[in-house]
């Protein structure tokens, strides 16, 4: 195998997770074992020392009561019953000469001269080959003699040896278990990441409908997957919206452009009359302006609908917004002999783009004035309802037929009765798109001849 795939595997998170997990598993298991080993060995050692001490006191009592003979008798009894596990017992005189040694054959491998000078303190004596040890406690008796009692560490060492063997035997499956656990954990944890990689590959090859499967666990990776899945949806909406806009712009521009062309052609074909040529040019300019306005409004609607519209959000005072709009239209309303009323709560605010909201209000008030005959009334009101800022534009105008009501929000839709008025049929489409871009909603209540009432509600700030 070449070193390239190997180094790629080494760089993967899966590999590193497995490594970390198994290392952590092995280290923590070893630590637990070492702790248990240390506790076991120190408790066995303490127990041995205690036993030796008790024996020492027992033999000293025998010696005090019956002299060396009593001691020998007691040791002989003990050796008979305990055999190889019997204690080391040595009695030396005050001059250091050995008075008694239990089972001398058993201790011939030990250099007893090493303990000759020690009295009263515990020592550990090793045999010549270093294979056996005996822990010795000693006591200086009242006549100057020194009594030494010791216990072989053989049994203790055997126990600890077994423990060490078990540890080594356990470590092999522990390492295998660590690696297997790491692999399982890494594979489970990284499943959404693998899904993400696969889906990004599909999306980048044009399969925009590809989605990452969600686990619904509610964890961070699940959140990432949900966020990622919402992205192609948004892109899809944007692309569809743009395609739609492009189609409708192409379709809607055909009529005014044909008209423009027709006017220009007629002017060219007509006799050389400067006056009519000037008129035709003026018509062309007017038509071009209409086309420009139409284009700009269509672009605005598309941007607002697809979420691409950049809103300069500020805290907007609703009463000031309405007052500005009323001021703007006061003159037109007066000329048409309409009563224009404003009733707005003062402390009402909403978060929005002031210029876009002015555009919304201007469109609604313009329509209300346009579709209300002379002598009528137009009212603007604003108030708070629950957590919303509500704006109402009401008129006593011609109203909207029930069959037209759902269509008035469509681009370029104009009800039959509207053709006597100027307009592009785009105002309400823009109003609705901008209101929705502000997380608001707009409804209309109207009946033919009975006036119309447009109600907007925005989350108030």
In the complex, the smallest distance separating the C-beta of residue 262 from ligand ADP, rounded to whole angstroms, is 23
In the complex, the smallest distance separating the C-beta of residue 260 from ligand ADP, rounded to whole angstroms, is 19
Cα separation, 266 vs 287, in Å, equals 15
Residues ≥6 apart with Cβ < 8 Å to 317: 348, 349
Contacts with ligand ADP, residue ranges (CB under 6 A):
363, 367-368, 371, 395, 397-400, 408, 413-415, 418, 423-429, 452
In the complex, the smallest distance separating the C-beta of residue 448 from ligand ADP, rounded to whole angstroms, is 9
Burial class (CB in 10 A: 0-12, 13-18, 19+), 455: middle
Length in residues, the chain: 461
What is the DSSP code string of 33-59? HHHHHHHHHHHHHHHHHHHHHHHHHHH
Compare residues 178 and 376 and give the one whose CB is closer to ligand ADP. Answer: 376
Please, are residues 434 and 380 in contact by the beta-carbon 8 Å criterion?
no
Cα separation, 207 vs 215, in Å, equals 22
Token pair for residue 337?
């002999």
Cα separation, 41 vs 155, in Å, equals 12
In the complex, the smallest distance separating the C-beta of residue 405 from ligand ADP, rounded to whole angstroms, is 9
Backbone angles phi, psi at 97, to 5 degrees: -75, 140
Compare residues 344 and 363 and give the one whose CB is closer to ligand ADP. Answer: 363
Local structure of 424: helix, strand or coil:
coil
Please, are residues 49 and 209 in contact by the beta-carbon 8 Å criterion?
no
In the complex, the smallest distance separating the C-beta of residue 301 from ligand ADP, rounded to whole angstroms, is 10
Compare residues 45 and 407 and give the one whose CB is closer to ligand ADP. Answer: 407
Q: Which residue is nearest to ligand ADP (CB)?
A: 423
Compare residues 203 and 360 and give the one whose CB is closer to ligand ADP. Answer: 360
Compare residues 359 and 429 and give the one whose CB is closer to ligand ADP. Answer: 429
In the complex, the smallest distance separating the C-beta of residue 364 from ligand ADP, rounded to whole angstroms, is 8
Backbone angles phi, psi at 304, to 5 degrees: -65, -40
Compare residues 348 and 368 and give the one whose CB is closer to ligand ADP. Answer: 368
Token pair for residue 85?
């596990």
Cα separation, 21 vs 14, in Å, equals 10
Closest C-alpha to 259, from 279, 284, 293: 284
Compare residues 199 and 367 and give the one whose CB is closer to ligand ADP. Answer: 367
Cα separation, 402 vs 412, in Å, equals 18
- Element holding 423 (H helix, E strand): none
Compare residues 40 and 291 and give the one whose CB is closer to ligand ADP. Answer: 291
Compare residues 356 and 414 and give the one whose CB is closer to ligand ADP. Answer: 414
In the complex, the smallest distance separating the C-beta of residue 430 from ligand ADP, rounded to whole angstroms, is 8
In the complex, the smallest distance separating the C-beta of residue 368 from ligand ADP, rounded to whole angstroms, is 5
Compare residues 150 and 451 and give the one whose CB is closer to ligand ADP. Answer: 451
Count CB atoms within 10 A of the CB of residue 152. 20
Please, are residues 337 and 408 in contact by the beta-carbon 8 Å criterion?
no
In the complex, the smallest distance separating the C-beta of residue 426 from ligand ADP, rounded to whole angstroms, is 6
DSSP-assigned letter for residue 103:
S
In the complex, the smallest distance separating the C-beta of residue 414 from ligand ADP, rounded to whole angstroms, is 4
């Amino acid at each position: 195998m070449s070193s390239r795939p190997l180094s790629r595997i080494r760089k993967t998170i899966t590999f590193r997770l497995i490594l970390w997990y198994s290392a952590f598993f092995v280290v923590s298991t070893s630590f637990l074992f070492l702790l248990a080993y240390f506790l076991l060995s120190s408790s066995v050692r303490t127990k041995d020392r205690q036993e030796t001490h008790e024996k020492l006191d027992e033999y000293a009592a025998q010696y005090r009561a019956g002299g060396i003979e009593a001691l020998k008798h007691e040791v002989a009894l003990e050796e008979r019953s305990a055999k190889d596990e019997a204690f080391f017992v040595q009695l030396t005189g005050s001059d250091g000469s050995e008075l008694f040694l239990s089972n001398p054959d058993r201790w011939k491998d030990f250099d007893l001269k090493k303990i000759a000078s020690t009295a009263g303190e515990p020592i550990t004596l090793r045999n010549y080959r270093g294979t056996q040890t005996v822990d010795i406690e000693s006591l200086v008796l009242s006549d100057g003699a020194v009594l030494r009692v010791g216990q072989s560490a053989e049994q203790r060492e055997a126990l600890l040896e077994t423990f060490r063997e078990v540890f080594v035997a356990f470590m092999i499956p522990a390492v295998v278990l660590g690696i297997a656990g790491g692999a399982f954990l890494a594979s489970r944890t990284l499943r959404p990441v693998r899904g993400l990689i696969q889906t990004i590959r599909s999306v980048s090859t044009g399969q925009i409908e590809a989605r990452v499967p969600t686990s619904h666990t509610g964890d961070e990776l699940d959140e990432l997957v949900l966020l990622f899945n919402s992205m192609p949806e948004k892109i899809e909406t944007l692309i569809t919206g743009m395609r739609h806009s492009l189609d409708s712009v192409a379709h809607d521009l055909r009529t005014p452009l044909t008209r423009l062309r027709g006017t220009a052609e007629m002017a060219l074909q007509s006799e050389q009359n400067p006056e009519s040529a000037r008129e035709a040019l003026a018509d062309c300019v007017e038509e071009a302006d209409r086309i420009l306005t139409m284009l700009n409004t269509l672009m605005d609607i598309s941007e607002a609908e697809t979420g691409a519209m950049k809103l300069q959000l500020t805290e907007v005072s609703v009463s000031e917004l309405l007052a500005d709009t009323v001021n703007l239209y006061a003159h037109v309303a007066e000329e048409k002999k309409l009563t224009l009323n404003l009733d707005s709560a003062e402390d009402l605010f909403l978060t929005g783009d002031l210029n876009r909201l002015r555009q919304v209000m201007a469109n609604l008030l313009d329509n209300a004035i346009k579709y209300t005959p002379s002598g009528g009334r137009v009212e603007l009101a604003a108030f708070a309802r629950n957590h919303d800022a509500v704006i109402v534009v009401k008129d006593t105008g011609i109203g909207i037929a029930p069959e037209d009501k759902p269509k008035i929000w469509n681009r370029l839709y104009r009800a039959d009765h509207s053709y006597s008025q100027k307009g592009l049929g785009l105002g309400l489409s823009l109003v609705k798109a901008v209101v929705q871009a502000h997380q608001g909603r707009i409804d209309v209540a109207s009946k033919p001849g009975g006036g119309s009432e447009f109600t907007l509600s925005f989350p108030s700030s």
